[in-house]
Structure 1
Amino acid sequence: MALRLPHILPTLPTATRRFVLSPFAADHIDPLADILTNDRIWAQGFGDGDQRPASRDELLAYIRRRHEGLRIFAIHYTGLPGGPLFVGTTGITESHARAERVKIGRTVISPAFWGMKANHEVKAALLDWLFARGAGRIECDVDPRNHRSLTSLTRFGFTVEGTRRRSSQRVDGSWRDIVILSLLVEEWPDVRKRALGSLEGQISCPAPSWLKATFSEAR
């Protein structure tokens, strides 16, 4: 089956419907900037070696530059009264139709949702769609310092293929290694079964009270 990815992304509900993926738009830039003010995200190697923006204007320009021309989904959480809440992004950074190869990235989820299997659930929905569109191999490039992401991806079912040493130069002149992970279409049925099975306890799970309080104040 040939890889065919549309220019206009669809809307994808996740397995438990706690989250929904929809095309990233201009009105998502400001809320993404709010999430990227969190130090915990940058501490794990976010930014592909770029310097962290020093001001709000620089951050907004940085987001526009990193997302330009890419197929990116906005992630919304549906479990709060008052409508869906923007909590992050994920998407496609590279695709090769003849090789049926897709690289995914630009994944950022608000630290308020860490520990709730949000990334796990979102990734299952994204990969379901990509494999249905003809992907044969899905890749991720991860900074070795991002232990949270590496652990999450390997638990999900991705295979670490190795480290691309001295892959790119950071703005400070130092060189950055990249860990390469992949998941093949032949592996997806078993990985998908395990992934969805691990979410059974999350189905119809209400938002925790601390989350309701936090985001009702933010609104």
Structure 2
Amino acid sequence: MALRLPHTLPTLRTATGRFVLSPFTDAHVEPLAHILANDDIWAQGFGDGDHRPGTHAEIVAYIRRRYDGLRVFAIHYTGLTGGPLFVGTTGVTESHARTERAKIGRTVISPAFWGMKTNHEVKTALLDWLFARGAGRIECDVDPRNHRSLTSLTRFGFTVEGTRRRSSQRVDGTWRDIVILSLLTEEWPAARERTLRALAALAPVEFAV
């Protein structure tokens, strides 16, 4: 079964209903820029070796450049009485129909939602969709400094295949390694069941914003 992804993304709801994934649009650039102003995100190697933008206008320009042409979802939290709250993004950065391979990335979660299994819940919805569309292998590239992401992905079910050394050059001239992880379609049912069990144990949480 070849991997077939539509140009127009669907709207996805996560298993608990806490989050909705919808196509990323220009309206989401400003709220994403506010999230990317947080030091904790950049401290973990976010940015693929680029300099951190210094001003709000520079962050906006960075988002437009990095997100252009990609299949990216906006993530909204639905548990607030005032309406859905934008909390980040995730999406597909590469896809290859013949080899049934997809690479996911552009995952940014507001630090206010860290430690709440937000990433696992969102990824379950994204991977359900990708495997249903014919993906046989889903990959992630992660900066070795991003211990939070590496721990989260391996707990989720991804396998660390190795480190691509001297993978890309940073803007300061130094070289960056990348950890390569993958999850196969044959592994997804067991990984999915584990994640859903963990999500079912969550108590209802209201987030302070």
TM-score grouping bracket, smaller chain normalisation: over 0.9
Q: Deviations over 1:34-77 (max 9, x none)?
A: 00010000000000000001111111000000000000000000
How many percent of aligned residue pairs carry the same amino acid?
78
CA contact (8 A) 1:49 1:170 kept: yes
What is the letter of the counterpart of residue 10 of structure 2? P
Partners of 2:41 and 2:5 lie apart in 1 by: 29
Q: Which amino acid aligns with 2:12?
A: L
Following TM superposition, the consecutive aligned residue runs of length 4 or more in structure 1 with deviations greater than 6 angstroms are none
Match of 2:112 in 1: 112
Does residue 35 in structure 1 map to residue 28 in structure 2? no
Q: Report deviation, 1:2.
A: 1.3
The answer to whether the 8 A contact 1:102-1:138 is kept is yes
Helix, strand or coil for the counterpart of 1:153? helix
Deviation at 1:16, TM superposition (A): 0.1
- Asked whether the 8 Å contact 1:16–1:202 carries over to 2, the reply is no
Match of 1:186 in 2: 186
| Alignment match, 1:50 | 50
CA–CA distance in structure 2, aligned partners of residues 196 and 74 of structure 1? 22
User: What residue number does 1:135 align with?
Assistant: 135
Q: CA deviation at 1:201?
A: 1.8
1:25 paired with 2:25, answer yes
Q: 2 CA distance for matches of 1:124 and 1:165?
A: 29
Aligned to 1:82: 82
Q: TM-score, normalised by structure 2?
A: 0.99
Checking the alignment, whether the CA contact within 8 Å between 1:91 and 1:104 is kept in structure 2 is yes
**Amino acid in structure 1 at the alignment position of 2:31:** P
Residue identity in the other structure for 1:69: G
Structure 1 unaligned blocks of 5 or more: none
Q: Distance in 2 between matches of 1:55 and 1:90?
A: 23
Please name the residue that 1:125 is paired with: 125
Distance (Å, rounded) in 2 between the aligned partners of 1:110 and 1:80: 15
Residue in structure 2 matched with residue 168 of structure 1 by the alignment: 168
1-side partners of 2:142 and 2:205: how far apart? 32
CA contact (8 A) 1:45 1:143 kept: yes
Identify unmatched segments of 5+ residues in structure 2: none
Q: Give the deviation of 1:82 after TM superposition.
A: 1.1
Alignment-mate amino acid for residue 132 of structure 1: A
Q: In 2, distance between residues paired with 1:49 and 1:129?
A: 30
Instruction: Count residues in correspondence.
Output: 209
